[in-house]
Amino acid sequence: MKKVLLMLLFVIVALGVSACGKENLEKGNDNMVILNSELDGVNGFAQQVMDNQYKIVALKDDGSTFDITDYSDIKYDTLDYSSGKLYMQKDDIFYIIDLTKGNGEYDVNSILTYDFDTPSYYKSMGVYEGKIYFNADQDNLMVYDIVNDKTYEVIDDEEIVSFYLNKDYGKIYYIERSDKCYLKEYDIETGEIRIIDTGDTQEVYGYTYNFNIGIINGNGDALIYSKEENVNDMRKTRFYYYDYVNDDKVLVDESLMSGIYSDGKLYYAASVSEEMYPDYEFKVQDGDDVMVIMEPQPNSFINFFDLGNGKIQAVMNFGQDISTYGEQAYVIDKDSLEISQVDDNYNLVYLIHDIDNELLDIS
Q: pLDDT by residue (tens digit) across 6-49?
A: 444 333 334 343 333 323 223 334 688 889 999 999 999 999 99
Neighbour tally for 33: CB within 10 Å: 18
Mean pLDDT of 86-96: 94
Quote the pLDDT of residue 24.
29
The pLDDT of residue 12 is 37
Altogether, the residues listed in the chain come to a count of: 363
CA distance 267 to 305: 10
| Distance in angstroms (rounded) separating the CA atoms of residues 250 and 147 | 40
Kindly state the helix (H) or strand (E) to which residue 213 belongs, with its residue range. Answer: strand 213-218
* Half-sphere exposure in the Cβ direction for 146 (13 Å, CA): 21
Q: What is the pLDDT of residues 313-354, one digit of tens each?
A: 999 887 666 666 778 999 999 999 999 999 999 999 999 999
C-alpha dihedral sign at 211, 302, 42, 96: positive
Going by C-alpha positions, the residue among 171, 176, 173, 175 that lies closest to residue 191 is 171
Residue 78 CA to residue 125 CA, distance in Å, equals 6
Residues 287-296: tens digit of each pLDDT: 889 999 998 9
Compute the distance between CA of residue 279 and CA of residue 297 in angstroms, rounded to an integer: 5
Q: Are 200 and 213 in contact (CB under 8 A)?
A: no
